[in-house]
Amino acid sequence: MKPIQVGLLGIGTVGSGVFNVLSRNQEEIRRRAGRGIEIACVADLDTARARAIVGENARVVGDTREVIANPEIDIVVELIGGYGIAKQLVLEAIAAGKHVVTANKALLAVHGTEIFKAAAEKGVVVAYEAAVAGGIPIIKALREGLAANQIQWVAGIINGTTNFILSEMRDKGLDFDVVLKEAQALGYAEADPTFDIEGVDAAHKATIMSAIAFGIPVQFDKAYVEGITKLSAVDIRYAEQLGYRIKLLGIAKRRQGDATKRTPDGVELRVHPALVPAKRLIANVEGAMNAVVVHGDAVGTTLYYGKGAGSEPTASAVIADLVDITRLIEADPAHRVPPLAFQSHTLREAGQELPVLPMADVVTSYYLRIRVADEAGVLAKITGILAGAGISIDAVLQREADEVGGEGSTQTDLIILTHDTREGDMDAALAQIQGLPTVLASITRIRKEELNN
C-alpha cells in the first residue's frame, strides 16, 4: 500500500523532530501502523533551512497553500502556532478534505468549537495529542483509557517554563526575577515569556482538558488565569516548612453544587500557583517536566508524567496522531474517537448544565501570609474574622518578629492554612482583614490543593 503522504506547515523545532523521528523509526512505525508514513512536502518561509533539514527526501515550498492544495497529501500537520494564520490554514486544510494534526493549544482552546465543527462537516480528523503536555499521551488517556469514568478532576503541571522557574526558586532560595533571567539564558524561557509566566499557556491546555474530561465546549474566555510573577521566595520557604511545594497548576474540576454552602453545579477551570502536599508525586515533578493527575470515579487517582515540550517529545505525540489517523483513514468516520471525547451531538452547550463557574464560586483551601504588628490580640482578631465568615483554620504558623524583620523588629508574619472554603467568602474576609490597622502590608493569598480524592 502506498505510504500515507504528510504535508508539514512549518519546520522549526517540532517540525524537524517530526521529520527526524519519522525517518529514524520508519520501519518500527510502519510495523505498528500497518502502512508507511512519509513527509512528502514541507512549507516554511525559510526554505533554505527547511531544505537543510529534509534534504532530498521531501519537497520544500515557501507557500503553505501549495501543501494544502496538493492532492497527494493525506494529512496536514500544522506547526505554525498562534491564533492568526494558523487558524486560516487549518480551516483551509479541512475545507480541502485533509486530515489535520496540530500542536496548537492556543488555537484549539480559543477556536476549537469552530474547527471541530468544520472538521465534522468535512468528515476529517483534527488530532491534537501534542497540544497538551507534549510527549505524554494524556489526550489519549482522557479520551480513551479512562472512558469508563466520570472524570472528577484533572490537575496538571502543564507548563515546563514555570515549573523550571519554581523548581529553581525553591532549590536556590532565589526570587522570581533572578530565576527568570537564568531560565532565559538556558533556553527554558522565551525572550518574551508572558504566555508562560502569566499562566496563559497552561490555561490553553487546561481548557482543552476540561472539554474532553467533562464533555463541555472549549471556553478559554471563562478560565481564571493567574501566573507566577508575584510569587516570592519567602512563601516557597514557608510552604516547605508546612510540608508543601508551590506549583503552577492547571485545574479542571467538576463541582457538585451544595445549596447549604451556596455553591452551584459546574466546572472550575483555573490556572494559578498552588500549595501541593510535598508527599504527592506531582509535588516532586522538577525542572521543565510535566505531569497531569486525573481523578476518575472508578479508577481513582492516576498520574501521567514526561517531557511537556521539546523537539522529539512533541514529535512523539504528533506521530502518534499520524498513526491513529493512518489506521482509520479508510474507515467510516463513525468508527473514530470523537475529537472532544464525547460524540459531538452529546456535547453540552456552553453554559448549559455544567457552566464554567466564576472564581467566587470556586471551593478550595488557602495559604495566607499576613504581615502584622507584633502585638497581643492580632491573631485573635484575624481568626475571629475568618470564623465569622465560616472559614475554618487548618494550621497557624507565627514567625518570631526578629526572624522576619531583623533584631528589634515590631512586625511579624502570620501564616494561616485554611480548610476548603468558597472563594467569594474568602475575598470578603480578606477585605476585612486587610482593613485592620494592625495589618501592615498587602496580604499574600495562595490557593492550596490537597489532591487527595
User: 218-277: which residues touch a copy of itself (CB under 8 A)?
Assistant: none
Measured CA to CA in angstroms, residue 68 lies from 15, 121, 126, 133 at distances of 16, 18, 15, 27
Q: Is 140 in the site for a copy of itself (CB under 8 A)?
A: yes
Task: Centre a 10 Å sphere on the Cβ of residue 425 and count the other Cβ atoms it contains.
Answer: 17
Given 117, 122, 181, 205, the catalytic residue: 205
Q: Any idea which residue has 506547515 for its cell?
A: 9
Measured over the CA atoms of residue 400, residue 403, residue 408 and residue 414, the dihedral's sign is: negative
Q: What is the largest CA-CA distance in the chain?
A: 82
User: 169-228: which residues touch a copy of itself (CB under 8 A)?
Assistant: 215
Q: Is 156 in the site for a copy of itself (CB under 8 A)?
A: no
Among 87, 170, 205, 307, binds a copy of itself (CB under 8 A): 307
Q: 69-108 mask for a copy of itself (x: CB under 8 A)?
A: ----------------------------------------
Q: Is 136 in the site for a copy of itself (CB under 8 A)?
A: yes
Among 10, 135, 250, 266, binds a copy of itself (CB under 8 A): 135
Q: 7-46 mask for a copy of itself (x: CB under 8 A)?
A: ----------x---xx-xx--xx-xxxx------------
Q: Is 2 in the site for a copy of itself (CB under 8 A)?
A: no
Following DSSP, what letter does each residue of 66-113 receive, concatenated?
HHHH-TT-SEEEE---SSSHHHHHHHHHHHTT-EEEE--HHHHHHHHH
Please, what is the minimum distance in Å from the beta carbon of residue 79 to a copy of itself?
15
Among 153, 305, 366, 367, binds a copy of itself (CB under 8 A): 305
Q: Pick from 85, 137, 78: which is nearest to 102 by CA?
A: 78
Q: How many whole angstroms separate alpha carbon 259 and alpha carbon 422?
A: 12
Q: How many whole angstroms separate alpha carbon 273 and alpha carbon 231?
A: 8
Q: How many whole angstroms separate alpha carbon 215 and alpha carbon 199?
A: 23
Among 57, 88, 284, 434, binds a copy of itself (CB under 8 A): 284
Instruction: Give the orientation angle of helix 176-186 with respect to helix 160-172, to 10 degrees.
Output: 120
Q: How many whole angstroms separate alpha carbon 156 and alpha carbon 250?
A: 5
Q: For the chain, what's the residue count? A: 453
Please, what is the minimum distance in Å from the beta carbon of residue 393 to a copy of itself?
29
Beta bridge partners of 156: 250, 292
Task: Centre a 10 Å sphere on the Cβ of residue 390 and count the other Cβ atoms it contains.
Answer: 11
Q: Which is nearer to a copy of itself, 210 or 316 (CB)?
A: 316
Measured CA to CA in angstroms, residue 14 lies from 10, 69, 80, 310 at distances of 9, 23, 10, 7
Q: How many whole angstroms separate alpha carbon 361 and alpha carbon 260?
A: 13
Please, what is the minimum distance in Å from the beta carbon of residue 299 to a copy of itself?
4
Q: Any idea which residue has 517536566 for its cell?
A: 289
Q: Is 210 annotated as a binding residue?
A: no
**205 is known as an active-site residue:** yes
Please, what is the minimum distance in Å from the beta carbon of residue 43 to a copy of itself?
22
**Contacts of residue 254, Cβ cutoff 8 Å, sequence gap at least 6:** 150, 151, 152, 153, 213, 214, 267, 354
Please, what is the minimum distance in Å from the beta carbon of residue 335 to a copy of itself?
4
Among 48, 148, 191, 376, binds a copy of itself (CB under 8 A): 148
User: 312-371: which residues touch a copy of itself (CB under 8 A)?
Assistant: 312-313, 315-320, 323-324, 327-328, 330-332, 334-338, 341-343, 346
Q: Which of these segments, 87-95, 131-139, 368-376, 436-444, binds a copy of itself (CB under 8 A)? A: 131-139
Q: Is 16 annotated as a binding residue?
A: yes
Sort strands 289-296 and 300-307 into parallel, antiparallel or unpaired.
antiparallel
Q: Which is nearer to a copy of itself, 202 or 318 (CB)?
A: 318
**How many residues touch a copy of itself (CB under 8 A)?**
65
Q: Which of these segments, 203-211, 216-224, 268-276, 296-304, binds a copy of itself (CB under 8 A)? A: 296-304
Please, what is the minimum distance in Å from the beta carbon of residue 290 to a copy of itself?
10
Q: Which residues are annotated as a binding site for NADPH?
A: 105
Residues at the interface with a copy of itself (CB under 8 A): 17, 21-22, 24-25, 28-29, 31-34, 129, 135-137, 140-141, 143-150, 215, 281, 284-285, 296-307, 312-313, 315-320, 323-324, 327-328, 330-332, 334-338, 341-343, 346
**Could you give the residue numbers annotated as active site?**
205
User: Which residue ranges are tagged as binding site for NADP(+)?
Assistant: 9-16
